[in-house]
Amino acid sequence: MNSLVVADSGKCVGCTACEVACALAHPIRQESGDMLSPVNFKPRLKVVKGPRMTAPQQCRQCNNAPCVNVCPTNALVYSHNSVQLVEERCVACCSCAIACPFGVMEMLTLPIKQPGTEPVSAPEFVTLPFKCDLCVGVDGGPACISACPTGAIRFVESGSLAAENSKKRKKYVFSLVL
For 4-58+132-177, CATH number? Answer: 3.30.70.20
**pLDDT for the residue 95:** 96
**pLDDT for the residue 139:** 87
List the chain residues with pLDDT less than 50. Answer: none
**pLDDT for the residue 162:** 75
**pLDDT for the residue 120:** 55
**pLDDT for the residue 154:** 92
Q: What is the pLDDT of residues 91-124, one digit of tens each?
A: 999 999 999 999 999 998 877 765 555 555 556 7
Q: Which amino acid is at 143?
A: A
DSSP secondary structure, 145-158, as one string? HHH-TT--EEEE-T
Length of the chain: 178
The answer to whether 122 and 113 are in contact (CB under 8 A) is no
Verdict on whether the full-model pTM lies above 0.75: yes
**pLDDT for the residue 146:** 94
SS3 84: strand
Domains of the chain: which residue ranges?
4-58+132-177
Q: Which amino acid is at 121?
A: S
| β pairing state of 76-79 and 46-49 | unpaired
